[in-house]
Amino acid sequence: MKTTINSAIASAVLLLCATITLNAQSYQGEFQFQTDRPIYVFCLDEQVTGYYTYHVTYHVDKKTGFINRVHWNVKESKFVGVDTGKEYRLIDTGGTDSWGYLWGFFAAVGVYSPDLLPPSYPIEGTVINSTFKWMSNGIAYKGSIVFQLHRDASGEIKAFVLKYDLCF
């Protein structure tokens, strides 16, 4: 009996996931940022040069033809301290299905066409962003921000989390 119930629950979850997936087509893109000259990173207390590459997954609603959610993460990064030669990695990830948070930015840097941006952004949904954590040899350097926000269909904020460890 227990196996039958677990199987029924698992089947229902799979059906729900399949239904959500069928409503949108997923695409992927990336863009790279490279420093032209050294940039000072306060948390590291040194100037660095280097690059990072973002991987972006975006979903286009099959009915409207517009983006309805986006996820991003740093796929690859390498920065080097100008004075110390120490190597650093930049870590960043996030996702959103509301407000168009960063949607215009990703269009501006060429990840996808601006024509995919909806005429108005949805107000219901969640924004999660974990921003710019620096790592070197397994050591995390301060300077990260975790931001999570959820609004209901009327635009009312139902959940808000902000954690930060800034060094400035």
Confidence of residue 167 (pLDDT cuts 50, 70, 90): low
pLDDT digits (tens, 9 = 90+) for 4-60: 444 444 444 333 333 444 577 999 999 999 998 999 988 888 999 999 999 999 999
Domain ranges of the chain: 27-165
Beta pairing class for 46-61 and 24-34:
antiparallel
Predicted TM-score (pTM) of the model is 0.75
Average pLDDT score over residue span 91-97 = 88
pLDDT of 166 reads 67
pLDDT of 8 reads 43
| In the predicted structure, residue 168 carries a pLDDT above the cut 90 | no
Mean pLDDT is lowest, of 23-32, 43-52, 109-118, 131-140, for 131-140
Confidence of residue 114 (pLDDT cuts 50, 70, 90): very high
Closest CA to 143 of 91, 72, 67: 91
CA distance 153 to 2: 37
